[in-house]
Structure 1
Amino acid sequence: MHRTVPSLDARLSAVLALVQARCHADIGSDHAHLPLRLLQLGRIERGIIVELNPGPLAHARRNVARAGLGARLEVRAGNGLAPLAPGEVESVSITGMGAQTMLGILTREPLRVPPALVLQPNDSAEPLRRWAWAHGYRLRQEALVAGHWAYPVLRLESRDGPDPVYDGLPLDVALRYGPHLLRRRDALLWQQVQADVRRLTPLAAPGRPAQADLNLAQTALDFLETL
């Protein structure tokens, strides 16, 4: 009988909700709770855990063994997507890292990037949205999750043609703040945009970088306040 995996926090629960695949890889999994829960809840049929550091790698292997799911969840040592064969998985999750670190993982192994990605950066998601826009990935879903700060969670899917979710929105504003979040006037996004306007206003002046950032934040706030 499989042991129950500890429940996920709100951040990883939001990631879990955006994963659905036959074979899925979790990169930098640490304790392996996310892929274990994905298996137990039937959101994936098979999983691969990739972990670079020896301590978390051993931790993941212990937790998989204790859960009795070693036949369906493989733990591999390695860096980023390198331990995966091209086309081996349908989707990948990467969580708890900076957006630039995630971009490094995606760009180092372009042939191993799967059709679906679920990404949870610990900072602005703008670089990931821009990468997706430029590389044929559509932003299918996104969320902000309350925690130590507002965590963005994105689901990207490879599709031909431009992403229609940006239609009718100021592109730079939507790439900065998230088109789905803007359209549904997400409460956490509203707080974030208001905080940006307050923070940037005393710093802005013509020709300063802060002025361009303030213009984006003010445009986003105007959109959110439009009924």
Structure 2
Amino acid sequence: MTLPALDARLLAVLELIQAEAHADIGTDHARLPVRVIREGRARRCVAVELHPGPLALARRMVARVRLEESIEVRAGDGFAPLRPGEVDSASVAGMGAYTIQGILERAGAALPPALILQPNDSPRALRVWAREHGYHLRAERLCPGHWAYPVLRLERAPGPDPAYVGLPEAAALRYGPRLLRGGSELLRGVVQADLTRLTPVAAPGRESHTELGAAREAAEYLAGERSTTPLSAAPPSGAR
């Protein structure tokens, strides 16, 4: 049977999943859990969906591919349908960063030791949350689409996160420490787009001024530390 197709951002999420038991929060059509099981990235999945329409679609998808024994579809909000310790990892994708942060903060004891997060906007709030709640950033991806989608894998660990060592903090929190070290053309385009957008409007005391400072830090790091290529790549379509 043909596997359900995933776009670039969900493929990046898939590649960062490896667990005994995994939960997909806000699963929508349940295509991601199906691929997780079919590709052997987990032995068991719990697909959680709040809204009745997508919940029905998820159940039909799981039944169609005959994975009812490996994927359980549950109705509920965020991590509420999960028991503490039931899963090793969880994914939350396709939502705003502050929406994802709210879901994590309400999870309580059901929060697993590994998280794969794909916000539809700046992930800065999630990186700050991770540092405040004992999660280290183990991997990051940046995927093309309507704009550049970030994907983060966080793992619970003691002490400060070593991923941020030696980097300008504002730039690392906004653009990602591992992405900065990678210095991809896609990231360079995002930083350049921010410089172009923020320079004419930034003023002291405004959020845009803080964002511009982070963009300048990132541009200096990318130009001086990681590559001799000028930071002038055209921004990806829709990059913010």
TM class, shorter-chain normalised? over 0.9
Which residue does 1:33 correspond to in 2?
Answer: 31
Secondary structure in structure 2 of the residue aligned to 1:21: coil
Whether 1:191 aligns to 2:189 is yes
**Aligned 1:122-141 pairs, distance under 5 A:** 122-141=120-139
Cα drift, residue 116 of structure 1 = 0.2
Cα drift, residue 205 of structure 1 = 3.3
Whether 1:149 aligns to 2:147 is yes
Cα drift, residue 5 of structure 1 = 2.5
- Alignment CA distance shift 1:211-1:76 (3 Å): same
Cα distance in 1 for partners of 2:94, 2:39 equals 22
Secondary structure in structure 1 of the residue aligned to 2:54: helix
Cα distance in 2 for partners of 1:17, 1:200 equals 33
Q: Structure 1 counterpart of 2:55, which letter? A: L
- Alignment CA distance shift 1:213-1:6 (3 Å): same
Cα distance in 1 for partners of 2:86, 2:206 equals 47
Cα drift, residue 210 of structure 1 = 2.4
Cα drift, residue 213 of structure 1 = 1.8
TM-score (norm 1): 0.96
Cα distance in 1 for partners of 2:2, 2:30 equals 13
Question: For the aligned residues, what is the CA RMSD?
Answer: 1.0
Which residue does 1:223 correspond to in 2?
Answer: 221
Which residue does 2:232 correspond to in 1?
Answer: none
Of all paired residues, the percent bearing the same amino acid is 60
Whether 1:18 aligns to 2:16 is yes
- Alignment CA distance shift 1:9-1:209 (3 Å): closer
Determine if contact 1:4/1:67 at 8 Å carries over to the other structure: no
Which residue does 1:48 correspond to in 2?
Answer: 46
Cα drift, residue 73 of structure 1 = 0.6
Which residue does 2:176 correspond to in 1?
Answer: 178
- Alignment CA distance shift 1:37-1:209 (3 Å): closer
Q: Structure 2 counterpart of 1:86, which letter? A: P
Which deviates more from structure 2 when the two are superposed, residues 213-222 or residues 135-144?
213-222
Q: 2:167 aligns with which of 166, 169, 172?
A: 169
TM-score (norm 2): 0.91
Cα drift, residue 9 of structure 1 = 1.2
Cα drift, residue 187 of structure 1 = 1.5
Secondary structure in structure 2 of the residue aligned to 1:138: strand
Which deviates more from structure 2 when the two are superposed, residues 187-196 or residues 85-94?
187-196
Cα distance in 1 for partners of 2:209, 2:2 equals 51
Cα drift, residue 4 of structure 1 = 2.6
Secondary structure in structure 2 of the residue aligned to 1:44: coil
Cα drift, residue 62 of structure 1 = 0.5
Q: How many residues align?
A: 225
Which deviates more from structure 2 when the two are superposed, residues 105-114 or residues 74-83?
105-114
Determine if contact 2:4/2:34 at 8 Å carries over to the other structure: no
**Aligned 1:33-112 pairs, distance under 5 A:** 33-112=31-110
Which residue does 2:231 correspond to in 1?
Answer: none
Deviations 1:92-148 (A, max 9, x none): 001000011111111012211100000000000100000001111000000110001
Cα drift, residue 50 of structure 1 = 0.4
Secondary structure in structure 1 of the residue aligned to 2:200: helix
